[in-house]
Amino acid sequence: MFRTVELPLWLFLLIIAFAAVAFSSHFLFPSVRWFFRRRMEGLVARLNARLDRPIQPFKLMERQDMILRLAHDPKVYEAISEEARATGEPETVVMERARRYAREIVPSFSARFYFTYGIRLARWFARLIYKVHLDDRKLGRIDPGATVVFVMNHRSNMDYVLVTYLAAERSALSYAVGEWARIWPLSWLIKTMGAYFIRRRSDRQLYRRVLSRYVQMATAEGVTQAIFPEGGLSLTGRTMPPKLGILSYITSAPRTPGRDVVFVPVALNYDRIVEDRVLIAAHAEGTRRFRARVPGILAFIARHLWRALLGRFRGFGDAVVRYGTPISLAAFEKGAQGDPTEALAVALMEEITRNIPVLAVPLVAAAWGAAEETDRAGLITRSAALADRLAAVGAELVLPEGDVTAAVDRTISIFRMRHMMERQGDRLVLKPASRPILDFYAASILQLFDAAAETVGGNPVEKPERSKRKRHKITN
């Protein structure tokens, strides 16, 4: 029993390795997990004490547990059985496919990363390139026990940064991101921030069932969410008709007794959208294939970083977030017959459109008109007249120094920096290739006349209740 046994060195090392793994898994790892779990629980408790809407336990569930719960959900299993019968595959094979979908969708949310680094990074980056204006006074009247869903128009990929920014002091958001972001390390960052990926073009019933059940579980558990019902970036500058996908999952989710779902319309607008030329080119081609190239993106970033190092980067103007009137799903359903999803989607997009803020560049772009050239004095006069018309239909103006003249001067500076126009004496001459850019920005505010007026005999007529409720407001 106590005799010496000779072993090859490789076998001895293998035995030691197995012993170390066994010791770690049975004694060390549980203690380490317990230590970090206690620290995480303490962090969440401190965060919940200051957040308007505490982080729901659903978001803190272990990712692997969430994947198993989702893959074995009864409604998902129904879809698994249906697909197995339709394709002739064994249910075990289809079940593994459902698990793969669940792993793809379920995020790996980290409260520590989100509140320690993510929000700070979003705030820093947003303020680096924009002057951000946020007015959240309307949110104070929402039932604190309700599930809140922010419903937003989609102007730019910077929207995701502003989404994180706008909810920084309220809650941790969950939102869907398209397949474009499924590249490492961006995919890791997005999932750690609590977002989930979706395949927008997938028509497989099983995938849709897994996705819908994830969204419904999050809704039932009270997770604060953000959705972009347009289903993609606007190629024209106007808000687009809504798509019902994720919205229909939310409206059909089983309700927790006493928990309402409140939709908050959020209107975004920018003085400059980073990818505007890409969007305009896609619209001209009649396709949603964006032809941005990695070398071009890197050159764009390098150019502006160089300008920042030289102290010549002045940012891209203003980025403005405005909230519309929240809509209670329970109250909306009382006045609806049948499925309320389509009517709700239309109502939300109309409210978003009515609240689109008027910024300097969209205002001046719309006031420029169809002419190829103008002068500063004439541009100021037309911009002031357009601002008055917009104010009359209830639009909110967010202009530099609260002044139309300052808005015109800033826009001229931006246009010249982007080589969109040139001065010829007292004249401002627009380059022909820049006309689509002016139309793109002008469209974002010209739609306000459609949203705030009814057409009678071809002439726009103000809706008096709107103009009485919201007067002309110019802020910094």
C-alpha distances (whole Å) from 343 to each of 56, 333, 335 are 29, 10, 11
The alpha carbon of 63 is separated from its chain's Cα centroid by a whole number of angstroms, namely 23
Give the predicted TM-score (pTM) of the model: 0.80
Residue 258: per-residue pLDDT:
80
User: For residues 114 and 171, is the Cβ–Cβ distance under 8 A?
Assistant: no
Residue 268: per-residue pLDDT:
93
Residue 52: per-residue pLDDT:
59
Separation of alpha carbons 173 and 248, rounded Å: 19
The alpha carbon of 326 is separated from its chain's Cα centroid by a whole number of angstroms, namely 18
Predicted confidence (pLDDT) per residue in 40-66, tens digit:
555 455 555 555 566 666 665 677 888
The CATH fold assigned to 109-346 is Glycerol-3-phosphate (1)-acyltransferase (3.40.1130)
Two tokens, residue 129: 């390139």
Is the backbone peptide bond immediately before 74 cis, with ω within 30 degrees of 0?
Answer: no
Check residue 142 and report its DSSP letter. S
| Residue ranges per structural domain of the chain | 109-346, 360-475
Predicted confidence (pLDDT) per residue in 389-400, tens digit:
999 999 999 999
- pLDDT tens for the chain, 476 residues long, are 567 767 677 777 887 887 776 666 655 555 544 444 555 555 455 555 555 566 666 665 677 888 888 988 999 999 999 999 998 999 999 999 999 999 988 888 777 777 777 888 888 888 888 998 887 776 667 887 888 999 999 999 888 888 877 766 667 778 888 766 666 666 777 778 778 888 877 778 999 999 999 999 989 888 888 999 998 899 999 999 999 889 999 998 888 788 899 999 999 999 999 889 999 999 998 877 766 565 666 677 777 677 777 777 778 889 999 998 999 999 998 877 778 899 999 999 999 999 999 999 999 999 998 889 999 999 999 999 999 999 999 999 999 988 999 999 999 999 998 899 999 888 999 999 999 999 999 999 999 998 765 333 334 433 333 333 333 343 33
User: For residues 271 and 319, is the Cβ–Cβ distance under 8 A?
Assistant: yes
Residue 469: per-residue pLDDT:
38
